[in-house]
């Protein structure tokens, strides 16, 4: 049975009425979680420490974010808002992922879903980007390795957008396999198939750019022929999912046409792979998803699949 981590502080990250990444979308996710019988929900997460955040982010960037005024809104980039509740929300989003890493590594066959905001996979070492302040999943993966919990982590990113921040964090790192399926060409413009890693990390980045109009069948083929074989070859000790649900056919930002049910199917495939290589340990971290109905439905299929339900 997966454990869900979230914190009321996530609702206090105010992005403004015009912004697609709002507290309302997280409320629909939490309601979807609460509707699943027997699901354990932990509604209090610690702030991540500066040391944890600086596993990925430059100290100068962390200090900049920490020192921003908390009584007004600041635009960190054209899409990323920092307001009165943003630092606490961002620090606890990272804290939730770190708590999930600790949880799944205490026993086999444990899964966790981190219902967090702001999202993270665009955040670079030294700047915010694309709604993201700290790179939640990258910090979690770095913490898992630095703490000695595992030696290798596989990150599968099925968000509509390429996770350029996560790729950048591990592009030369042989201990992290980063796999991304994303609409291409599209924001942020990275994620071509030619981007495969450098140095010791060569071959540890797998980008699967998907054309507008692609749907379940194209993603299924990519999973069966590219994603699952790459995971098998890498042999991770922990699997993490950048679980954006904005590649849904009903999402206002998407030209990809995934169905809600297919998020469950992708989860089943990854869970079966995790049972072979990671003792069943999976952590998924919420990224995008901007149609409330489609988001709630897709999360429900994802969590039902994680707990072994059809």
Burial class from Cβ neighbours inside 10 Å (0-12, 13-18, 19+) for residue 213 reads exposed
Closest CA relative to residue 246, chosen from 307, 167, 176, 186: 186
| Catalytic center residues | 122
Q: Where does residue 14 fall: left (phi above 0), alpha (psi -120 to 50 degrees), or beta otherwise?
A: beta
Sheet harboring 176-183: ordered strands across? 40-42, 3-5, 111-114, 282-286, 238-243, 153-157, 176-183, 205-210
Evaluate whether 116 touches 75 at the Cβ level (below 8 Å).
Answer: no
- CA–CA distance, 34 with 140 (Å, rounded to integer): 25
Strand runs labelled E in 149-287: 153-157, 176-183, 205-210, 238-243, 282-286
Is the sign of the CA dihedral 175, 181, 185, 186 positive or negative? negative
Q: Give the 3-state secondary structure of residue 215.
A: strand
| Residue 210 structure tokens | 């998907």
| Residue 181 structure tokens | 């399926």
Q: How many CB atoms lie within 10 A of CB 79?
A: 17
């Amino acid at each position: 049975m997966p454990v869900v981590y979230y914190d009321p502080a996530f609702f206090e990250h105010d992005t403004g009425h015009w912004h697609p990444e709002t507290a309302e979308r997280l409320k629909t996710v939490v309601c979807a979680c609460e509707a699943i019988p027997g699901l354990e929900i932990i509604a209090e997460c610690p702030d991540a420490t500066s040391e944890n955040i600086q596993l990925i982010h430059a100290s100068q960037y962390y200090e900049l974010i920490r020192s921003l005024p908390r009584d007004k809104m600041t635009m960190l980039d054209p899409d990323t808002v920092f307001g009165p509740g943003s630092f606490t929300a961002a620090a606890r989003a990272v804290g939730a992922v770190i708590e999930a890493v600790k949880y799944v590594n205490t026993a086999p066959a444990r899964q966790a879903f981190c219902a967090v905001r702001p999202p993270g996979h665009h955040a670079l070492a030294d700047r915010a980007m694309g709604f993201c302040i700290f790179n939640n999943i990258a910090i979690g993966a770095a913490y898992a390795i630095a703490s000695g919990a595992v030696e290798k982590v596989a990150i599968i990113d099925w968000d509509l957008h390429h996770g350029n921040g996560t790729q950048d964090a591990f592009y030369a790192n042989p201990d992290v396999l980063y796999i991304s399926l994303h609409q291409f060409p599209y924001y942020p413009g990275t994620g071509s198939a030619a981007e495969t890693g450098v140095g010791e990390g060569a071959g540890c980045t797998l980008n699967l750019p998907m054309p507008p109009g692609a749907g379940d069948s194209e993603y299924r083929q990519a999973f069966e022929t590219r994603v699952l074989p790459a995971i098998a070859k890498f042999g991770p000790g922990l699997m993490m999912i950048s679980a954006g649900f904005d590649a849904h056919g009903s999402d206002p930002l998407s030209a990809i046409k995934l169905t809600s049910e297919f998020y469950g199917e992708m989860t089943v495939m990854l869970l079966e792979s995790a049972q072979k290589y990671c003792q069943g340990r999976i952590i998924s971290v919420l990224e995008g998803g901007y149609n409330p109905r489609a988001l709630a439905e897709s999360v429900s299929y994802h969590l039902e699949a994680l707990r072994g339900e059809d």
